[in-house]
Structure formats: C-alpha cells, structure tokens
C-alpha cells in the first residue's frame, strides 16, 4: 500500500517543476510594449471598422507619409472598457490612439487622459458637418478631445408582403397612422400566435426617447455647470404617455419587460411574427440569414412623427476616437485620425461595413437602403447629455428599466420624478 | 453510540497535540509552523496587504477617474458611508440580499449534502456519470451558463417555457415573460445559482466524506444505526470543519454574487433584483466612483464579518481546547 | 451486509436511478449549450425546440476559432491558470498543515484575516490591485496576474485543506513518527495521500477561478499578447450585435480544459483514502 502511495506522490511531484518552468518561461516576453519607438498603437473596438480588413487601407495611406512607422491595431472588448481605457491612459506608456463608445466619451474627456485637439479641429475634413450626437460628447469645457469615428441610428424595417396582405398601400406618415396600421396587421394575422404589428421591446429606450424629443422634451439641462434631469417636464410626460400607447397598441404583452435580444427580435421578424421593427443597419442581414425567403420583402422608413411634416428626431449612437495625452507620437497619431475620419475612408466604411458616416454629406450613393434612410434621419438628431453620468445610466441599464416600467403601466409622474432624482445625481457626480 | 465515543476518545480534552517525539532540536521545532506559514503569509501580506490598505484609504476619499491621473483625491472622512446609508435603495438591497443568501445557501448545503451522500451509495458507473455531469456544470463558463438560462426562459423561443406548456398544468406559457416579475426573476436567479454552485458543494463534501473510514459506518450499521443516525453521529460531526467553511463560503459568494443577476436581469425590473454584489459593481464601475465602491466593499465585509464572527471563532477554536501551545 | 443481498442491491438500483435522473437535470443546460453550438447560426431559435442539432453545422466553431490571437490566448490562459493552481496548492498545503496541527501565536488572527480577505467583493479590488501593480511597474506583466490569482484563491485553499487535515486522525501521523519517519517524510507518505481528495477538490476550484476571470485579466493586461481566453469569450459581443452561435461554440471549447483537468485528477477524488494508510 505504502509503495503505491509513494508512486502517486512521485507522480504529483514531477508535475510541480513542469508548472514552475511554465511560470518562469512566461516571465520573459512581457513587460510593457513601448510606443515611442516608432510604433503607433491603436486600440479599436471589436466589431467596428478597426476589426475589419478595411483598416489596412488607413495604414497604407498613413505609410505614404510615415514609411518608417509601424501601426499596431489592437482589438478591445466592450465589457469593462471604460475602466480599461481609463486605467490604460493613466498607467504610463498608454496606447497612442483609443476608440470609445460615444456615451463613454464624456468620461474620458472629463478624466484628462486625452490630448486636446481644439486647435486642429478645422484640419479634419468637414468637421463642421459632424453629427452632433458624436461631436458633442467629444467636447469638454469647450475643448475638443476626440473626433467622431462612425455613427449608427435606427430605422423602421417592415415586411412588404404582410403590409400588402393587410391592405396597407401607403407607408404611414404619422405615428397615428402607424398605430392604425398595427390594428390592420393584427386583424390580418390573428391566426399567428403572439403576432405584433410593430414588435417593440419595452426596454428599447432608443425607440422611446424620440417620442419625448418630438414633443419638445429634452433629457437634461445644464445651468451654471449643474445638471438637472428634465424627465418630469410636461413635454416629456406627454411623450412617455404617447410612447406607452404606441407600445401597448402595436406590440405583444410579453414584450413589455424585455430587450431586443431576448427573444431575438430579428428571429421574430424572420418568422413572420412581426410586421415592423425598429432596427440597426446590420439587422436586415441577420433576418435574411434566418429566413432567406424574405429577400425582396424588406423595406425601410424613418419612424414617423406626430405630424406628417417631420419624422421623429433620433438618438445617434456610435464611436469616437482620441489621442492619449501621454502619447509621444501625437503628430503622426493626428494624421492617422485625419485619414480614418476623412471622406474617402468614411465612404468605404459605409459601403462595406454598413456603418453610418460621421457627416451626412459623406454618405455615398449606393449604400444599402436602411443606411440611406438612417443618414437622412440622423440630420434631425438629439444628443444625449454630455456628462460622464450618461455612461453611468447606460451601464446601470437605467434607461432600459425606466422605459420598461412605463410600458408596463407604471405611474408616469412618479416614475419620471424618480428618474430625475437618480439621473441628476448621476450627471453631477463627476464634476 | 460506540462509534462516536471511539472518535471522541481520539480527540479527548487534555490530550497533547502531536509533537515530534524523541527528536532533538526544540528551537527548530518551534520554528517549524512559522516556516510552513511563511510563504502564505508573505504572499498575502505583499499581494493582498497593500490593496487592502488602499481599499480602506479609498473608502474615505473622493476618488474618481481623474484621481487616477493626478494621484490627488480629497479626504472626505465618512461621507461615502453616510451617502451610502442615506440611499433609500440601499436598505432594500440589504434585505433582498439577505433573503437571496439564505435561500441559496440553504438549498445548496442541503442538496449538496444529499447528493454527496447519494454518490457514496451508487454503483461505480453511476458515480462516474454523476461526477462528470457535475464537473461539466462546474466547467461551463458563468457567462455561457447565464446566457443559456436566459434562452431557456425567454418568451416565444424558450425551451423551458415550451416544456412547461407541454405539461398542460400551468396553461400556455410559451410567451410568458418571467423577467418582468421581480419575484419570479429572483427565483430564476436563485435556481441558476444553486444549479451552478451545486457541483462545488457536492464534490467537496464527497471528497471530505471519502476521508471517513468505511469501517465506522459498517460498525454503526451492525449496531443497528439507520441512515439518519449515521448522518448525525458520524458524517456531520466529522465533516463539520468542511461543512462550516463551505457554508461560510457560500454565504460570502451569494452576498457578492454578480454575473448571474447582472446578465439575467440587470438588477431589474425596476431595480428589484439588485443585491449587494450588483450594487458594489455598479457603484465602482458604472458610476466610476472608486471611493464609494470601496466603501460598499468595506460595508459588505463588515456585515459578513458580523454575521460570521461567532461562527469563525468556533471554527478557529476547533481543537484549541485539546491541547496547549506546541 | 452479505446477509441481505437483495435489499442492498435494490437500494443500489434505486440510488443509481436517482443519480441518473439528477445528472440528466443538471446536464440539460450543458447539453443545450453543446447542441446549440452545432446548429447553423440562423437556426439557434425555433418556436418548437430542436432537441438534436441536425444537420450538424461546424460554422459556429469555425467562426469562433477564426478569431485572431486565439492560440496566444490559449497559451496565456494555460500558463496563468496552471501556475497559479500549482503555486497556491503548494503554499496552502504547508500553511494548512501548520494551522491544523500546531498552536502558535497569531494563529487565530491569521485565520480571521483569511476569512476577511475572502469577503471582499472582487470588483472592489480591481482598482486597488491596479494601483499596486502600477506602483511597482508590474502592469501588463504575466507573473503579476499569476500572483494576483494565487492570492485570491489562497485563503479558500488554506481553509479547505485545513478542514481536510483536521479530518485525518493524528494517530496515523504519530504512528508514522514512531516508526522512525522524519516529519517531512511522514507528511509526504502518510498525510498527503489522505489529503488527495481535498487537494483535487481545491485544485479544481483554483483552476476554475483563474480560468474564468475576465475583469482582472482585462484591466491589468494591456497588450493583446498578454490577454487570456475570457477576453476571447466576450469578443463575439460588439457594440451593434452579438454572434450568439460563435459565442456558444466558444463557451463549449472554453469548458473543455476544465473537464480535461478534472479527468486527469479525478481518480484521486474517489480512490486513495480508504485503501491508503488507514488500512495499510
């Protein structure tokens, strides 16, 4: 018995040095990558323009001016990115260039890790035409700390076949007409279980906010440097009531508490369980992957307004890109930024990646229909409050929970008063 | 019972602790425990000590992202703590955390104990099947587990909703949205936590159970002891140290639980599935208020420490009365 | 026992049935993950659930493995995880024996500190650990991450192993010492085999702990060459969309090493104790 134990122990013992070897072996190769040595380190986000072969075109253009400089594009993940970027910029030897989500940009412009680009703003192509949803968060205290990289906004996708079958011959021009169409579609599809004329998850606040903006509402105002959330203003409360009516009229009961991913709204559309949805530019492709038969049946229009003269204002999402204050290569970094935010690359990006260019004037002919509609809609956009607190609300999923509560029939006056208290504190927390 | 007496005789009070009998070098012997502790102590002091001290300092500072760059942070005394207790949501969070923790830990310990017992009474092939199943559950990354869980219970496409509907007991649940009802959402989070945590408890208890010599049980059975009696007189007393630390750990982990709640419900609807772990994360990372985040951590540790102080003392004392200092 | 073969056998059959049923229930979500991974990415959801993935599609796995730097992440994850498991086990084993078998000044304080350290929410430690590593210039440095993981599992490992040491009758050690074994020899020959189940249980714990961590790895490591596999696992979620098919396939791949690690050590979980020194 004892011999057996010894054999077992010897076996375990031999494993230890191997592991110890592995430990010492990894001690080498690391230790901080230098960036002042002729390498431009660029942090870009997964799924964005940096994560596609297109980025090579930027590097090629850059190489014409800086043939001796290497560009190292590293792809980062969204989960925990705010902390990641802040700590990296503060950590010494930071990346030269970082991409940020537009709601997270105010956190970085506030923190002080980004280089001031104010003096050179005019040298960026068509910087006067930048979408306000991207340009506003890039600015802090009147100074520019980042450039817009790409935008995104949502449009209504509809199923042409279902519209025809329900006897709808003309696209709705007001939200009232849209609601009537929901009724027609529901009647025509009453044999389809859990059918929605317009499938709208209750947590989808990107759809809810436009109803508030169109009533003249705004999320928050700033006076003498102090923010005050305005959710309980009469305009916003009216907008919330209108949005609730729309959600409850057009969408299923089971959609009140969920977001677009659970259940996947593209699957519902592909399965014919929804005739309309509020979608991002890539979603039509996802629908077609699930149901290729819909190829010729998908159309798009901007979310119609309360009256026929203008569609609802939209929220622009997207990314910005800035230069580390501690970067030793600011000059080349700025040139790299000029290339990626320039018209040539932005057009290529729109055509090949379905991403909205940072200026409506950049949108080239021949983009997919949803992008053309989105680009048009983005001309009337409302920026979110330019405070690091907006990123707080976003990561807390506070807007999602608020709109879901409204959709579920919560008391609008009380819920919006709660919103103001919470959001005001968040907006003023870092000042 | 004869068996426990045998056992307690081995641990009778006043019995000296083991010492190296008849070996020279008393000083070396006295140094021995210290030498054995030294690496662990050094690692903890060097790698945990500084961050711990820093955490305490942070909790008294207004330390935001800007402080990371400047290194400057205002000392605010107890302001972070008063703000925390002034938050009306915080008390609700504490109460919810208590309920969540009690339910999770009770289920985990009882089911884990039963499962470990079951493992001792099955054929070898069934033991292998069960332990491999348990390890597979354990091995599944938490993010994936939560995602699958979310899928199983989603309206319209959820396989669990489909199966429940097929039972024809609860009516048509295909389009039922569990996550807009706070109690049901919390129930699903608890179910997920117990499912994911069970392998660890069951396998650790099974491993500990394996230390108990089989003759003890055989003798007990010959004495006519039933299963419950062997639990009471053999299994539980011998497993007490492991049971104790497992319970304590599960309490700590339930209080600090984050991923399952966050991915499944984001603390909603209307913040009503937010527990202390989610609250701590949101404070530190959503609000980028590292000072307040540290104060939440300090409060968490204090609460857990108060809850477990008697318990930890008993655990730490275990065996102390059996002998003087070595 | 042999006097009543039939009831014993019947009880065993009942137990086996319960064990299989429990396994089936526990395994279902795991099965669902694996089955989903093999479905074509457009067919992951269906109103009537598809219990068997047919036709089997490897597309999800192809997309998951096509991500750049995958093998670099694998190497880093294995290095970091195995090193921290080995280090924490060796260090904890000595500490656990000392705490369980000796009285010494500061012992209780040490035990209390071990528990307290365990109570801190990990999220709150990210910034303090970052500040420490920054001050000694060990950011983006693999051994820094190994030591961090090691100290995070150390308290648990010490506490648990101490429980296992307590479960070993001291007479066995004494007998060995009387037999003329040196103390170290005694530990190796007598105590260690008896502790194997505990060592296995805690090493799986330490393995999973280091293997799964995302937050510390992501914040402490700066360059792509130092990232670990959890970073790969979340890379299928972009600002715009989530590739669920690839993510679930990645999760399946990600679970495999834990299973392999378990299968390598599992025999020690069951065997080793009753046939070891207790009888020998």
**Tens-digit pLDDT profile for residues B25-64:** 566 667 888 888 899 989 988 888 889 999 999 999 999 9
The pLDDT assigned to C279 comes to 30
The pLDDT assigned to A14 comes to 39
Distance, in angstroms, between A31 CA and closest chain C CA? 5
B42 within some domain: no
Phi and psi of B140, rounded to 5°?
-65, 125
**Tens-digit pLDDT profile for residues A123-142:** 999 999 999 999 999 999 99
Could you give the CA distance from residue A89 to residue A93 in angstroms, rounded to a whole number? 8
Domain that holds residue B261: 74-318
User: Nearest-CA residue of chain A relative to B181?
Assistant: A257
User: Nearest-CA residue of chain A relative to C137?
Assistant: A31
**Tens-digit pLDDT profile for residues B200-218:** 999 999 988 887 888 888 8
A100 in B contact zone (CB under 8 Å): no
Dihedral angle, C-alpha A178, A184, A190, A193, nearest 10 °? -10
In Å, how far from its chain's centre is CA A226?
26
CATH superfamily, domain at A155-313+397-429: Periplasmic binding protein-like II (3.40.190.10)
> pTM for the complete prediction?
0.87
C255 within some domain: yes
Q: Which residues pair with B75 in a beta bridge?
A: B61
Question: Of B37, B141, B206, which is closest to C254 when you measure between CB atoms?
Answer: B141
How many domains, in total, are found in chain C? 2
A401 in B contact zone (CB under 8 Å): yes
Token representation of residue B185: 């959402």
Residue C280 has pLDDT above 90, yes or no: no
Mean pLDDT of B13-25: 44
**Same domain membership, residue C71 and residue C39:** no
Here the CATH number for the domain that contains residue C129 is 1.10.3720.10
Mean of the per-residue pLDDT values for chain B? Answer: 84
How many domains, in total, are found in chain B? 1
Which chains are within 8 Å of C by 3+ CB pairs? Answer: A, B
Could you give the CA distance from residue A303 to residue A74 in angstroms, rounded to a whole number? 37
C277 within some domain: no
Banded model confidence at residue B18, pLDDT cuts 50, 70, 90: very low
Token representation of residue A360: 């409506």
Q: Is the peptide bond before C55 cis (omega within 30 degrees of 0)?
A: yes
CATH superfamily, domain at A39-151+316-377: Periplasmic binding protein-like II (3.40.190.10)
The pLDDT assigned to C269 comes to 61
**Residue C5: which residues within 8 A CB-CB, separation 6 or more?**
none
B275 within some domain: yes
Answer yes or no: are the C-beta atoms of C212 and C230 closer than 8 Å: yes
What is the biggest distance separating any 2 CA atoms in chain B, rounded to whole angstroms? 79
Here the CATH number for the domain that contains residue B96 is 1.10.3720.10
Residue C79 has pLDDT above 50, yes or no: yes
Select the residue from B179, B288, B291, B292 to test the A interface by mutation, using most A Cβ atoms within 10 A. B288
Mean pLDDT of C177-181: 77
Answer yes or no: are the C-beta atoms of B144 and B151 closer than 8 Å: no
Map tokens 């966050």 to a residue.
B262
A417 in B contact zone (CB under 8 Å): no
Q: How many CB atoms lie within 10 A of CB B95?
A: 11
Residue B15 has pLDDT above 50, yes or no: no
Q: Do C119 and B301 touch (CB under 8 A)?
A: yes
Q: Do C239 and A29 touch (CB under 8 A)?
A: no
B182 in A contact zone (CB under 8 Å): no
Could you give the CA distance from residue C73 to residue C232 in angstroms, rounded to a whole number? 8
Q: Identify the weakest region by mean pLDDT among B234-238, C49-53, C240-244.
A: C240-244
Residue A264 has pLDDT above 70, yes or no: yes
**Same domain membership, residue C164 and residue C137:** yes
Residue A211 has pLDDT above 90, yes or no: yes
Q: Do A193 and B282 touch (CB under 8 A)?
A: no
Q: Identify the weakest region by mean pLDDT among A143-147, B91-95, C256-260.
A: C256-260
For C101-126, b/e burial (b = at least 16 CB within 10 A) is bbbbeebbebbbbbbbbbbbbbbbbb
Could you tell me where the DSSP H helices lie in chain C?
5-37, 59-65, 70-101, 107-119, 122-135, 142-166, 170-178, 183-186, 192-212, 215-220, 229-233, 244-265, 267-270
Mean pLDDT of A19-30: 33
**Residue C106: which residues within 8 A CB-CB, separation 6 or more?**
none
Answer yes or no: are the C-beta atoms of C257 and C75 closer than 8 Å: no
A191 in C contact zone (CB under 8 Å): no
Q: Of chain C residues 144-183, which have a CB less than 8 A from chain B?
A: 147-148, 150-151, 154-156, 158-160, 162-164, 166-171, 173-174, 177-178, 183
**Same domain membership, residue C55 and residue C11:** yes
Residue A4 has pLDDT above 80, yes or no: no
Banded model confidence at residue B295, pLDDT cuts 50, 70, 90: very high
Residue A96 has pLDDT above 80, yes or no: yes
Select the residue from C39, C78, C223 to test the A interface by mutation, using most A Cβ atoms within 10 A. C223
Q: Identify the weakest region by mean pLDDT among A60-64, B288-292, C263-267.
A: C263-267
The pLDDT assigned to A36 comes to 60
Could you tell me where the DSSP H helices lie in A68-221?
81-90, 105-111, 132-135, 160-165, 175-188, 205-214
Q: Do C177 and B20 touch (CB under 8 A)?
A: yes
**Same domain membership, residue C193 and residue C229:** yes
Mean pLDDT of A137-155: 94
Percent of chain A exceeding pLDDT 90 equals: 81
Closest Cα to residue B213, out of C100, C185, C272?
A: C272
Closest Cα to residue A244, out of A255, A228, A232, A233?
A: A255
Closest Cα to residue A27, out of C226, C229, C143, C103?
A: C143
DSSP one-letter code for C137 = T
Distance, in angstroms, between C258 CA and closest chain B CA? 5
Residue C40 has pLDDT above 70, yes or no: yes
**Same domain membership, residue C123 and residue C217:** yes
**Same domain membership, residue C68 and residue C40:** no
Mean pLDDT of B176-182: 89
Residue range(s) of every CATH 3.40.190.10 domain in chain A: 39-151+316-377, 155-313+397-429
Distance, in angstroms, between A334 CA and closest chain B CA? 22
C279 within some domain: no
**Same domain membership, residue C147 and residue C254:** yes
Which chain C residues touch A25 with a CB distance below 8 Å? 79
The pLDDT assigned to C5 comes to 59
Question: Of C29, C98, C201, which is closest to B145 when you measure between CB atoms?
Answer: C29
Q: Do A26 and C240 touch (CB under 8 A)?
A: no
Mean pLDDT of C228-249: 87
**Same domain membership, residue C48 and residue C139:** no
The pLDDT assigned to C214 comes to 92
The pLDDT assigned to C105 comes to 79
**Tens-digit pLDDT profile for residues A389-418:** 998 998 889 999 999 999 999 999 999 999
Q: Do A271 and C47 touch (CB under 8 A)?
A: yes
A410 in B contact zone (CB under 8 Å): yes
Distance, in angstroms, between C92 CA and closest chain B CA? 6
B2 within some domain: no
Maximum average pLDDT range among B195-204, B207-216, C190-199: B195-204
Token representation of residue A301: 């229009």
Banded model confidence at residue A242, pLDDT cuts 50, 70, 90: very high
Question: Of B140, B281, B318, which is closest to C251 when you measure between CB atoms?
Answer: B140
Mean pLDDT of B275-304: 91
The pLDDT assigned to B25 comes to 54
A86 in B contact zone (CB under 8 Å): yes
Distance, in angstroms, between B262 CA and closest chain A CA? 10
The pLDDT assigned to B139 comes to 86
Q: Do A408 and B269 touch (CB under 8 A)?
A: yes
B169 within some domain: yes
Residue B22 has pLDDT above 60, yes or no: no
Q: How many CB atoms lie within 10 A of CB B190?
A: 21
The pLDDT assigned to C120 comes to 87
**Same domain membership, residue C155 and residue C253:** yes
How far CA B69 is from CA of A287, B76, B80, B252, in Å, comes to 45, 19, 21, 33
DSSP H or E run through A76: strand A70-76
Residue A288 has pLDDT above 60, yes or no: yes
Question: Of A16, A280, A283, which is closest to C86 when you measure between CB atoms?
Answer: A16
Mean of the per-residue pLDDT values for chain C? Answer: 86
Map tokens 């869980």 to a residue.
B149
Banded model confidence at residue B318, pLDDT cuts 50, 70, 90: low
Residue A7 has pLDDT above 80, yes or no: no
**Same domain membership, residue C109 and residue C40:** no
pLDDT, greater one: A22 or B246: B246
- Name the 3-class secondary structure at A43: strand
**Same domain membership, residue C180 and residue C51:** no
Residue A18 has pLDDT above 50, yes or no: no
Q: Identify the weakest region by mean pLDDT among A26-30, A118-122, C118-122.
A: A26-30
Select the residue from B133, B213, B267, B306 to test the C interface by mutation, using most C Cβ atoms within 10 A. B133
Residue B324 has pLDDT above 50, yes or no: no
Mean pLDDT of A89-114: 93
Q: Which residues pair with A158 in a beta bridge?
A: A276, A299
B-C C-beta contacts closer than 8 Å: 325
Domain that holds residue C156: 62-270
**Residue A204: which residues within 8 A CB-CB, separation 6 or more?**
A259, A260, A278, A400, A403
Could you give the CA distance from residue C253 to residue C233 in angstroms, rounded to a whole number? 10
**Same domain membership, residue C21 and residue C101:** no
């Amino acid at each position: 018995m004892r011999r057996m134990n010894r054999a077992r122990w010897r076996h375990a013992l031999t494993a230890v040095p191997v592991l110890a070897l592995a430990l010492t072996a990894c001690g080498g190769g690391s230790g901080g990558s230098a960036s002042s040595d002729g390498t431009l380190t660029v942090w870009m986000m997964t799924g964005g323009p940096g994560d596609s072969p297109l980025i090579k075109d930027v590097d090629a253009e850059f190489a014409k001016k800086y043939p001796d400089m290497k560009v190292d594009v590293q792809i980062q993940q969204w989960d925990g990115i705010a902390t990641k970027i802040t700590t990296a910029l503060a950590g010494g030897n930071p990346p030269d260039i970082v991409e940020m989500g537009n709601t997270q940009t105010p956190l970085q412009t506030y923190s002080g890790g980004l280089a001031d680009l104010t003096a050179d703003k005019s040298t960026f192509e068509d910087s006067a035409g930048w979408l306000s949803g991207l340009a506003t968060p890039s600015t802090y205290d009147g100074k520019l700390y980042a450039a817009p990289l790409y935008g995104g906004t949502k449009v209504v996708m509809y199923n042409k076949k279902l519209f025809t079958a329900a006897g709808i011959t003309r696209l709705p021009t007001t939200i009232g007409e849209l609601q009537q169409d929901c009724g027609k579609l529901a009647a025509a599809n009453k044999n389809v279980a859990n059918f929605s004329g317009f499938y709208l998850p209750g947590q989808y606040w990107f759809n809810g906010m436009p109803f508030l903006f169109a009533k003249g509402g705004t999320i928050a105002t700033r006076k003498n440097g102090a923010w005050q959330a305005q959710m309980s203003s009469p305009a916003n409360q009216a907008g919330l009531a209108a949005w609730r009516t729309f959600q409850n009229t057009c969408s299923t009961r089971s959609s009140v508490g969920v977001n677009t991913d659970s259940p996947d709204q593209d699957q519902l559309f592909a399965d014919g369980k929804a005739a309309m949805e509020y979608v991002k530019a890539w979603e039509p492709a996802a629908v077609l992957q699930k149901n290729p038969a819909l190829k010729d049946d998908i159309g798009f229009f901007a979310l119609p307004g309360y009256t026929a003269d203008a569609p609802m204002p939209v929220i622009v999402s997207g990314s910005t890109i800035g230069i580390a204050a501690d970067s030793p290569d600011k000059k080349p970094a700025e040139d790299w930024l000029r290339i990626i935010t320039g018209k040539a690359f932005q057009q290529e990006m729109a055509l090949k990646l379905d991403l909205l260019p940072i200026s409506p004037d950049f949108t080239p002919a021949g983009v997919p229909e949803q992008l053309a509609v989105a680009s048009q809609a983005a001309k009337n956009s409302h920026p979110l409050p330019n405070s690091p607190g907006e990123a707080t609300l976003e990561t807390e999923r506070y807007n999602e929970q608020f709109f879901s509560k409204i959709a579920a029939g919560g008391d609008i006056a009380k819920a919006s008063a709660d919103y103001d208290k919470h959001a005001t504190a968040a907006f003023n927390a870092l000042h | 019972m004869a068996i426990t007496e045998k056992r307690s005789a081995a641990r009778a009070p006043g019995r000296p602790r083991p010492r190296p009998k008849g070996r020279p070098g008393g000083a070396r012997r006295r140094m021995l425990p210290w030498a054995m502790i030294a690496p662990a102590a050094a690692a903890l002091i060097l790698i945990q000590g500084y961050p711990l001290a820093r955490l305490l300092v942070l909790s008294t500072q207004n330390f935001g992202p800007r402080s990371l760059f400047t290194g400057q942070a205002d000392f605010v005394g107890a302001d972070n703590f008063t703000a925390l207790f002034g938050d009306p949501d915080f008390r609700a969070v504490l109460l919810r955390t208590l309920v969540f923790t009690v339910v999770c830990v009770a289920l985990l310990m009882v089911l884990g104990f039963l499962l470990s017992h079951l493992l001792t009474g099955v054929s070898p092939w069934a033991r292998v099947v069960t332990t491999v199943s348990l390890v597979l559950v354990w091995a599944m990354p938490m993010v994936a587990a939560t995602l699958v869980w979310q899928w199983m219970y989603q309206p319209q496409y959820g396989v669990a909703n489909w199966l429940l509907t097929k039972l024809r007991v609860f009516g048509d649940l295909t389009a039922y949205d569990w996550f807009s009802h706070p109690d049901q959402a919390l129930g699903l989070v608890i179910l997920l936590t117990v499912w994911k945590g069970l392998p660890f408890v069951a396998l650790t208890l099974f491993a500990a159970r394996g230390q108990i010599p089989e003759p003890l049980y055989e003798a007990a059975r010959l004495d006519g002891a039933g299963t419950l009696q062997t639990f009471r007189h053999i299994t539980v007393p011998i497993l007490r140290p492991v049971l104790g630390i497992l319970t304590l750990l599960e309490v700590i982990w339930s209080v600090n639980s984050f991923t399952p709640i966050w991915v499944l419900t984001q603390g909603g609807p209307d913040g009503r599935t937010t527990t202390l772990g989610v609250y701590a994360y949101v404070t530190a990372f959503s609000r980028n208020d590292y000072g307040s985040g540290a104060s939440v951590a300090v409060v968490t540790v204090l609460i857990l420490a108060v809850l477990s102080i008697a318990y930890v003392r008993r655990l730490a004392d275990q065996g102390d009365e059996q002998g003087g200092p070595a | 026992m042999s006097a009543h073969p039939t009831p014993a056998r019947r009880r065993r059959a009942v137990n086996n049935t319960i064990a299989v049923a429990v396994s089936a229930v526990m395994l279902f979500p795991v099965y669902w993950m694996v089955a989903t991974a093999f479905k074509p990415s457009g067919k992951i959801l269906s109103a009537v659930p598809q219990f068997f993935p047919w036709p089997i599609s490897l597309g999800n796995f192809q997309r998951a493995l096509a991500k750049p730097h995958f093998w670099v992440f694998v190497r880093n994850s294995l290095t970091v995880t195995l090193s921290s498991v080995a280090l924490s086990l060796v260090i904890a084993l000595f500490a656990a024996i000392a705490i369980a078998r000796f009285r010494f000044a500061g012992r209780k304080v040490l035990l209390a500190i071990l528990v307290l350290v365990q109570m801190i929410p990990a999220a709150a430690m990210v910034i303090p650990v970052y500040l420490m590593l920054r001050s000694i210039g060990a950011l983006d440095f693999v051994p820094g991450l190994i030591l961090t993981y090691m100290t995070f599992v150390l308290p648990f490992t010490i506490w648990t192993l101490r429980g296992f040491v307590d479960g070993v009758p001291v007479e066995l050690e004494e007998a060995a010492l009387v037999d003329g074994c040196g103390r170290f020899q005694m530990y190796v020959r007598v105590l260690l085999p008896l502790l194997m189940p505990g060592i296995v249980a805690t090493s799986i714990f330490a393995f999973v702990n280091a293997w799964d961590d995302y937050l510390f790895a992501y914040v402490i490591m700066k360059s792509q060459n130092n990232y670990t596999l959890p970073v790969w696992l979340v890379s299928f979620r972009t600002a715009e969309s989530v590739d669920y098919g690839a993510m679930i396939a990645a999760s399946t791949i990600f679970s495999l090493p834990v299973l392999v690690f378990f299968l390598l050590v599992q025999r020690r979980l069951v065997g080793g104790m009753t046939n070891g020194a207790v009888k020998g």
